[in-house]
Amino acid sequence: MATQKSKVVVTRDLGPDVLGKLREDPSVDLFVWPPDCGCDRNWLLEEAEGAVGLVVTLTDKVDEELLTRAGANLKVVSTMSVGYEHVDLAGLAKRGVRLGYTPDVLNGAVADLSIMLALMAGRNGGNALAHVRNGEWPNISWSPFGWCGPQLSGTVGGPKKTVGFLGFGRIAQVTLNRLVGFEITRCIYTTRIGSPPKKDLEDSLTEKHRRVNPGFEGVRQVDLKTLARESDVLFILAPGGAETRHIVNEELLREMKRTSVLVNTSRGSLVDSDALAKALREGWIWGAGLDVVEGEPDVTADHPLVKQPSCVIVPHIGSATFATRTDMANTAVANVLAVLSNKPMVSEKRV
Ligand code: DGY
């Protein structure tokens, strides 16, 4: 007796190696959005009908409309991302649909990019690159304090360096690992409002990092205002959504040091773009490095942040390394296959 195949819809071409795992599975009837560009919404709505699994990316909205169109067969939505703001969790929960996602595999890549942006923003990287590209180098000769900016790393006998994290999950901790090599002095962080300090974690990280950098004073939870006031570099690494929307606003930015740098590699919605543009324009902070901007990808040359020379912006490339994107795609596919074969997912987000 022929077994009934499960329809799986994938919204991007994940390459022959990764998709091969679905293609070669005899229980799967595979539908892939063919062009290498964002999946057409109408195509997805049509193809989703009767699907058992949907493999999506953060540009595909998994909302009431899509879930209704998919219908009662749908068992799993698997997103090739650690973030899941594009997924209606309540809609999944009420239908008993499970959610797969891809945490951990991208920690290193996002941490690397966070540091790249901190360095670029602190050392006038965006402006300096534009200067050379525009052919302006011959017009300005080297000068003792030309192009100077704040130094990320500690200097012998120099001021103490404090790095701050708004959100202290896995990516933040991997970023801190890398920063310890920059001889920073201390780390402060805030997590969800009202959540108690992660005392054991603070102690173990302090001990671990002191072994590498004896001058490291430690890791400590602080309130949001203290985080803004004391951070030389403030990394935003918290989830998006209603709870954190515009948590970085005018009030918070006004608390920061004039020499400090803001880095956002989580979600654009955490930062009020107009307030940040004003802060950069009026010099309340030194610079900003952004991988994400609210309203992306509609961030054009006339966007107030793009117009700020001290703002370095890249188009959401935090996880964009060959190794990491391959791991993310493999995890997303493995999550769907696990549900189809009644096995535990590699990474499941409880809804
Ligand atoms: C994610 O996975 O949520 C990241 O933002 C992708 O780079």
Q: Are residues 191 and 112 in the same domain?
A: yes
Q: Are residues 144 and 258 in the same domain?
A: yes
Q: How far is the CA of 12 from the centre of ligand 1 (A)?
A: 15
Q: Is residue 144 part of a domain?
A: yes
Quickly list H helices, 49-95: 64-70, 89-95
Q: Is residue 1 part of a domain?
A: no
Q: Are residues 291 and 226 in the same domain?
A: yes
CB 27 within 8 A of CB 340: yes
Task: Give the CATH number, domain containing residue 100.
Answer: 3.40.50.720
| Domain range for 10 | 6-104+323-349
Number of domains making up the chain: 2
User: If you take atom 2 of ligand 1, which residue's CA is the nearest one?
Assistant: 81
Q: Are residues 136 and 32 in the same domain?
A: no
Q: Are residues 136 and 112 in the same domain?
A: yes
Mean pLDDT calculated for residue range 215-240: 97
User: Which percentage of the chain shows pLDDT scores above 70?
Assistant: 99
Q: Are residues 253 and 335 in the same domain?
A: no
Tell me the pLDDT of the chain averaged across its residues.
96
Query: What is d(CA 96, CA 90) in angstroms, rounded to the nearest whole number?
Result: 10
Mean pLDDT calculated for residue range 139-166: 92
Q: Are residues 191 and 253 in the same domain?
A: yes
Q: At residue 1, does pLDDT exceed 60?
A: no
Q: At residue 314, does pLDDT exceed 70?
A: yes
pLDDT category of residue 196 using cuts at 50, 70 and 90: confident
Catalytic residue from among 12, 186, 316, 325:
316
Q: Are residues 160 and 190 in the same domain?
A: yes
Mean pLDDT calculated for residue range 152-160: 87
For the CA of 328, the nearest atom of ligand 1: 2
Q: Are residues 17 and 123 in the same domain?
A: no
Q: Are residues 85 and 208 in the same domain?
A: no
The four Cα atoms 33, 36, 42, 43 give a dihedral, to 10 degrees, of: -20
pLDDT tens per residue, range 17-43:
999 999 999 999 999 998 778 899 999
Q: Are residues 88 and 199 in the same domain?
A: no
Torsional sign, CA 138, 259, 256, 312 = positive
Report the predicted TM-score, pTM, of the whole model to 2 decimal places: 0.95
Mean pLDDT calculated for residue range 273-282: 98
For the CA of 80, the nearest atom of ligand 1: 2
Q: Is residue 318 part of a domain?
A: no
Q: How far is the CA of 320 from the centre of ligand 1 (A)?
A: 9
Q: Is residue 228 part of a domain?
A: yes
